[in-house]
Structure formats: structure tokens, C-alpha cells
Amino acid sequence: MTTSLTGDLEQKPEVRFIDNGKFGKFILDKCPIVQQKFSPAWWAASSFMQTVIPSIIRSRHDTMRYTREMLNCPDGGVVSLDWFEGSPASADSPIAVLFPGLIGDSQSEYLRYIVPALKGIGYRVVTFNNRGRGGLELRTPRLYCAANFDDLELAIDSLREKNPNSLIVASGFSMGGMVLTRYLAERGKQAKVDAAMLISANYDLVNGTKHMETGYFNRFVARVMTKELVNVLMSDKEVLARTDKPVQWDKLKDAVSFRELDRYFTCPMWGYNDPEDYFMDATNNDRLPKIQVPTLALNSADDMFSPYATLPLDKLNEAVVFVVTQRGGHLGFMDRYHTPFYGDRLIEQYHKAILEINRPRELLQST
């Protein structure tokens, strides 16, 4: 099923799923917000404003109190699962596990509304921290990238092993969504989560990166994020420099784009020939049909990282439903002056809907 986008500022999102798909009909029935108009304020309708302003508003929410569970990686590194304090204590209560973006952690502003909200629905809420993020010590000369899901899988395996009877819903934000997509596709029916949601994930890193290299605001955001990443890498240089990989530290410190950062650091660190090689490997468009877990994807057509033309809307199977708003930027989806924004409300509705059914994978049957 397809509902088409137009150029109007205020309109219903495009909802895309296979014809007669049971999961798609479930989303239409149980998530009424997807059939309501998304109405951004006229003064915050651009991709840049939809990306930046919600981040500022969300940052005003209180930081969250967590109980940290450390996970040891096979190479000696560490990641963590941060459990939101006050979550339901029952051993079999459902779990919502959240995977933040590239420079995110368990205190990221886009999680500050949704974490307590999911707890209020009845979930035990836990947020993943990548190596070196969220105050974690970087113990080995290895970080993470968009094409590798080893650490994410370690976290999910740990959750499933310790909670064999619990419903587990995994949500990935931005790059966290990219890595979760890769995991879901590669593991297929063996994925150890019961349902998933992908928020502002990039499915075509080749063309998404090219888009970030066009236009003043896109280049500005890319430059700011690149410099933040470079600062993180340089602060961890003492550990990262232990590698025998040919990282170009002298050039890295002056990088001003994602492509340069990946050329000087990501590619040598992960064994890619050049950025294009890495972008191709991290692109998930053709992997999407391999997903065998009910998965709801939320994107905005004007997302500077993954604009409409890069979305794999022709690659769907019975397990994947896309909701695409005309406006919303990257992780923004601001349709009012305060939270919860449109995306927050959809995340809530989806998690509530999944709680209503005992076996979400039964939704993957066409009618």
C-alpha cells in the first residue's frame, strides 16, 4: 500500500507496505497517528530547523538515572547496557532496548522523553552505549562503524540469555538504526528480538553522504559533527594509536567532512580501500528484504542524511513498514512547541501496540 507525498506543508505521511500485508494493516489500525496530518510550524519547516530546534527543546528535559551493566567484548573492549531506574521489576516484563546514533549515548536528548514514556507503558527500558561513549573507558584500539554489528549483537544476545521469556523490542536511532538494520537482515528469523523500530536510519550511505556534501546547511552540519568526532578520536588517540592499522592522524585532525574522516580513520581502521568501499558495505537497501522481524521504519523525506530518493521503498517485504513524513529533518519530527513530538508519539503507539499481542511475528502473514 502506498499513500503519496505532495509538496504541501501539512499532510498525512506516506505509509508504505506490501499489498495485503498483515503487519501494515496492524500499523494502520493500532498506530492512528500515521493517518493524521503532520503539521510543522511554518517557522520550523526546513530540514535544518526540524533537526536543530527539537534537539534544543529536548535537551531541556532532565537527564536520566540509570543502573549500568557492563558487557565485556571478546577483544577486551567494553560496552554497556544502561537500565532506566524505576522500570518494572518483573523478571518477565517486556524490554525496550534503544540504540543511539553515531555520537549518541544513553543521555542523548532525543531519548529524554521516550525513555520514561516507555517505562510508563510497562517496559523495562535499557539503552546501549557504544565503546568510548556515555563515559565508558576505551580499553582497546577499536571503536565502531555503521557496517559492523558485533557489539550490538553482543548486547541483544545478553538480553535474550538473561530474559528468555520477555518480549524484546529494539529501536535504533540514526546510525543505531543502520546497525540494527544490518543485524536484523543478517540474522533473519534467528534475530533475538521480537519487534523493531528504525528512526531516521540511513539505508543508502553512498548517496546519503553525497547529499550531505551539497548545500550550505548540510555542509555546516556535517562539518560540526565531523569536528566533534575528530575531537573524540583525538582524545582517545593514546589508546587508538596502539593499532597497527595505517590511520592518518596528521590529516585526520584537519578533517571537515564525513568523507575525509572516513578516508583517514574509518577505512584504515576497518580494512576498507576507500570511503566509497565503506559506504557501499554500510548501505542496507538490498538487505532490507531479508528482515524477518516486524519492523517499523520512520523517516522524513527532507532528512539531510537520508533524503526521500535514498529510501528503499521498493525493497519491502511482509516484515517492514515505512512511514515517511514530508518534513521532520533528522530525528526531529517537531509538530508542536513541546514534546512529545510526532516521532515520539509514534514510538509510544507502536510499543503499546506490540504489547497487545503475544507473538509479534504472527503479524508476518499476508491475508
Does the pLDDT value for residue 204 go beyond 50? yes
pLDDT band at 90 (very low <50, low <70, confident <90, very high): confident
Considering the candidates 194, 303, 335, 344, report the single residue annotated as catalytic.
303
Does the pLDDT value for residue 7 go beyond 70? no
Same domain, 111 and 199: yes
Lowest-pLDDT range of 82-86, 185-189, 208-212: 82-86
Using the CB atoms, write b or e for 245-278: b if 16+ within 10 Å: eebeeeebeebebbbbbbbbbbbbbbebeebbeb
pLDDT band at 86 (very low <50, low <70, confident <90, very high): confident
Average pLDDT over residues 62-76: 96
**What is the chain's mean pLDDT, rounded?**
94
Considering the candidates 330, 335, 344, 351, report the single residue annotated as catalytic.
330
Is 314 a catalytic site residue? no
- Placement of cell 500500500 in the chain: 1
Same domain, 84 and 185: yes
- Choose one of 263, 282, 301: the last residue of a domain: 282
User: Residue 6 has what pLDDT?
Assistant: 45
359 or 97, which is more confident: 97
Report how far residue 287's alpha carbon sits from residue 158's, in angstroms, rounded to the nearest whole number.
Answer: 25
Please report, for residues 106, 135, 143, 247, 265, the alpha-carbon distance to residue 234 in angstroms, rounded to integers and kept in the order given. Answer: 22, 16, 13, 12, 11
3-state SS class at 196: strand
- Placement of cell 518534513 in the chain: 327
Q: Does residue 259 fall inside a structural domain?
A: yes
Same domain, 246 and 314: no
Same domain, 276 and 321: no
- Choose one of 282, 312, 344: the last residue of a domain: 282
User: Residue 91 has what pLDDT?
Assistant: 80
Q: Does residue 4 fall inside a structural domain?
A: no
Q: Does residue 362 fall inside a structural domain?
A: no
Is 61 a catalytic site residue? no
Does the pLDDT value for residue 184 go beyond 60? yes
Q: How much of the chain, in percent, has pLDDT values that exceed 90?
A: 89
Closest CA to 266 of 84, 276, 30: 276
Q: Does residue 9 fall inside a structural domain?
A: no
Same domain, 121 and 155: yes
- Choose one of 249, 282, 315: the last residue of a domain: 282
The gap from C-alpha 97 to its chain's centroid, in whole angstroms, comes to: 11
Report how far residue 14's alpha carbon sits from residue 191's, in angstroms, rounded to the nearest whole number.
Answer: 28
User: Residue 366 has what pLDDT?
Assistant: 53
Grid coordinates representing 50 are 526540524
Residue 272 sits at the vertex; the CA angle it makes with 268 and 276, to the nearest 5 degrees, is: 120
- Count how many domains the chain has: 2
130 or 1, which is more confident: 130
Residue type, 190: Q
Output phi, psi for 81, to 5 deg. -115, 115
Residue type, 309: A
CATH number for 191: 3.40.50.1820
pTM of the model: 0.95
The domain of 275 spans 205-282
Report how far residue 206's alpha carbon sits from residue 278's, in angstroms, rounded to the nearest whole number.
Answer: 9
Residues sharing a CB contact under 8 Å with residue 190, sequence separation 6 or more, in sequence order: none
User: Residue 358 has what pLDDT?
Assistant: 75
- Placement of cell 542496507 in the chain: 284
Does the pLDDT value for residue 14 go beyond 50? yes
Helices within the chain (DSSP H only): 22-30, 47-58, 114-121, 150-162, 175-187, 205-212, 216-235, 237-240, 249-252, 258-261, 267-270, 275-282, 342-355
Find residue 79's DSSP bridge partners. Answer: 71
Is 47 a catalytic site residue? no
Q: Does residue 1 fall inside a structural domain?
A: no
pLDDT one-digit tens code per residue, 219-278 = 999 999 999 999 999 999 999 999 999 999 999 999 999 999 999 999 999 999 999 999
Same domain, 349 and 209: no
Same domain, 345 and 292: yes
Considering the candidates 47, 80, 106, 174, report the single residue annotated as catalytic.
174
Same domain, 220 and 324: no
Q: How much of the chain, in percent, has pLDDT values that exceed 70?
A: 96
Output phi, psi for 4, to 5 deg. -90, 150
